[in-house]
């Protein structure tokens, strides 16, 4: 009788131990606590930067896990020009950890004036979640103004009239087709295209097949890692007078 009672107690003990062990190994859940963007060492306002280029960017996400876990993650930029392989980080329970990514924009194409895009952090494990940070970069103009020399009061100077620009910045009025894939022929209509020296889909240069003052025929550049739902890119036409306001072309897989 005592032996049966002892066996019963042992069974109850092992059952409770097993239940406690299982309860302590639940799947960790990960969430984001926010994101930030620093440009050339300063935190940006509204994820927008205007200043000298190239610009060194530092993206950072706050990541929080419900339990201690080893997380795997990667980064992707909207145009495919920046991506990483899987990396790992230790996440303590219920405490935000900063997951940063650093890179420079404008080193390969320092002449570009504007860039609109996003970077995405994807947590692959312990569960899959992702978050994007959208941002805008505007490179500052380097034009210098020639001011007339200062003379004494009442001194008459022969001040030349201000020099007017020979050409206004280009303007995009239409992109046809407005969606497609890499290596596709696209016609860009507008004005001020005379002297065009580059056409960019985000930071990637497109091949210019033909050009006039009002029409450009280009071939879209390669864009790796296009998601299944497609992705929008900013199209810029640049001449010696400056760059246009961005148009939009959607890459499809």
Considering the entire predicted model, what is its pTM? 0.49
pLDDT-based confidence at residue 186 (cuts at 50, 70, 90) = very high
Architecture of domain 171-251 in this structure: Sandwich (2.60)
Helices (H), the chain: 2-23
pLDDT of residue 241: 81
Which CATH number does 30-139 carry?
A: 2.70.50.60
For residues 211-230, give the mean pLDDT.
91
For residues 185-199, give the mean pLDDT.
93
Cβ-based burial of 251 (10 A; exposed 0-12, middle 13-18, buried ≥19): buried
For residues 154-159, give the mean pLDDT.
48
pLDDT of residue 108: 55
82 vs 249, which has greater pLDDT?
249
Handedness of CA 187, 193, 194, 195 (dihedral sign): negative
Whole-angstrom distance, CA of residue 49 vs CA of residue 104:
13
pLDDT of residue 114: 74
Average predicted confidence (pLDDT) for the chain: 79
pLDDT-based confidence at residue 81 (cuts at 50, 70, 90) = low
Whole-angstrom distance, CA of residue 59 vs CA of residue 64:
17
pLDDT of residue 8: 57
pLDDT of residue 22: 42
For residues 142-152, give the mean pLDDT.
41
For residues 8-13, give the mean pLDDT.
51
Query: How does 97-123 read in b/e, with b if 16+ C-beta sit within 10 Å?
Result: eebebebebbeebeebbbbbbbbbbbb
Q: Pick from 115, 224, 236, 222: which is nearest to 175 by CA?
A: 236
Q: How many CB atoms lie within 10 A of CB 138?
A: 16
Q: pLDDT tens digit string along 108-132?
A: 555 556 777 788 999 999 989 999 8
| Domain ranges, ordered by start, for the chain | 30-139, 171-251
Assess whether pLDDT exceeds 70 at residue 158. Answer: no
């Amino acid at each position: 009788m005592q032996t049966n009672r002892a066996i019963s107690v042992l069974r109850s003990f092992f059952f409770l131990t097993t239940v406690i062990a299982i309860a302590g190994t639940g799947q960790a859940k990960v969430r984001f606590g926010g994101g930030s963007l620093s440009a050339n060492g300063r935190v940006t306002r509204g994820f927008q930067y205007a200043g000298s280029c190239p610009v060194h960017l530092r993206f950072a996400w706050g990541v929080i896990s419900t339990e201690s876990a080893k997380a795997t993650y990667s980064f992707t930029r909207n145009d495919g020009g920046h991506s990483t392989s899987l990396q790992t980080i230790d996440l303590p329970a219920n405490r935000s950890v900063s997951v940063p990514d650093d890179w420079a924009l404008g080193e390969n194409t320092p002449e570009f004036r504007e860039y609109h895009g996003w970077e995405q952090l994807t947590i692959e494990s312990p569960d899959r979640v992702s978050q994007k940070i959208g941002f805008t970069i505007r490179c500052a103009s380097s034009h210098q103004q020639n001011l007339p020399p200062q003379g004494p009061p009442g001194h008459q100077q022969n001040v030349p009239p201000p020099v007017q620009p020979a050409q206004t910045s280009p303007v995009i009025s239409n992109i046809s087709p407005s969606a497609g894939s890499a290596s596709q022929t696209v016609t860009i209509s507008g004005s001020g295209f005379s002297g065009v020296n580059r056409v960019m889909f985000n930071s990637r240069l497109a091949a210019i097949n033909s050009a006039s003052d009002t029409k450009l025929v280009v071939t879209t550049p390669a864009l790796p890692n296009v998601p299944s739902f497609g992705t929008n890119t900013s199209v810029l036409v640049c001449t010696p007078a400056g760059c246009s306001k961005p148009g939009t072309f959607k890459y499809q897989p």
